[in-house]
Amino acid sequence: MRILLIGPPGAGKGTQAVRLAAHLSIQHISTGDLFREHIGQGTDLGQNAHTHIHAGLLVPDEVTIGMINERLARPDTERGFLLDGFPRNCVQARALDGILADSDSKLDAVLDLEIPEDQVVGRISGRRLCRQNHEHIFHVDHSPPEVAGVCDLCGGGLYQREDDREATVRQRLEVYRTETAPVVGHYRAQGVATTIPAHGQVQDVLNRALDAIGRGQADAAGTSS
């Protein structure tokens, strides 16, 4: 299965992406995580990306598309993938159309997570990530770790992303409105987009997403590995 997850900052994309990919037994590919890995390793790509991420802006398309092209060419995506955070504008969406056409494949679903803007800042300002594994995500109020500042799953230290500070979040929201929201229309025209209300408990949102994919299809994908 090939799935895209789109949504504004704070919609819970990362949290849902990890769970959906595990349920469907497909690769979770987050462009944000790939950039953070590059930044951590101090690569040229990471240094270039850091300036843009720090400002709450998109990393230039040629860098992002090149990175995702290379990632999707790896054999571990043959059974499918869940893209979390890509595409983020219409140029990237058209590039992905081309990558998929070249491999004679198509998307099964595009999930558009929807959350009222007034909830975004609160959701993001309480978010904490594990230094050892960025897929381990907590929230100081909604899903706090048992010991403050320590990951329940691996004992890693928790930290706040620097682009999760309020001023940067507002810039990221503006970028979402102007550049990313139109991507949903691109996929609506292809008949594959579904909007999912992202409020409420994590499990409820996951259930809505699985319903949108088609539970039978989703369960079959998860058990065929």
Tell me which residue has its CB nearest to ligand AMP: 32
- Please identify which residue in 38, 92, 128, 193 interacts with ligand AMP, judged by CB under 6 A: 92
Q: Which residue has the tokens 């895209």?
A: 4
Distance CA 17, CA 139 (A): 16
Spatial strand order of the sheet with 81-84 comes to 27-30, 81-84, 2-6, 109-114, 193-197
Rounded to the nearest whole angstrom, what is the least distance from the CB of residue 163 to ligand AMP in the complex? 6
Task: Count interface residues toward ligand AMP (CB under 6 A).
Answer: 17
Cβ atoms of 150 and 130 within 8 Å: the answer is no
Q: Give yes or no for residue 71 binding ligand AMP (CB under 6 A).
A: no
Q: Which is nearer to ligand AMP, 164 or 221 (CB)?
A: 164
Q: Which is nearer to ligand AMP, 52 or 170 (CB)?
A: 52
Query: How is residue 169 written in tokens?
Result: 């979040």
Cβ atoms of 218 and 25 within 8 Å: the answer is no
Binding mask 22-61 for ligand AMP (x = CB under 6 A): ---------xx--x----------------xx---xxx--
Rounded to the nearest whole angstrom, what is the least distance from the CB of residue 198 to ligand AMP in the complex? 14
What single string gives the DSSP state of each residue in 47-115? Answer: HHHHHHHHTT-PPPHHHHHHHHHHHHTSGGGTT-EEEES---SHHHHHHHHHHHHHTT---SEEEEEE-
Q: Give yes or no for residue 187 binding ligand AMP (CB under 6 A).
A: no
- Please identify which residue in 21, 45, 85, 110 interacts with ligand AMP, judged by CB under 6 A: 85
Q: Which is nearer to ligand AMP, 51 or 103 (CB)?
A: 51
Contact residues for ligand AMP, defined by CB under 6 A: 9, 31-32, 35, 52-53, 57-59, 64, 85-88, 92, 163, 172
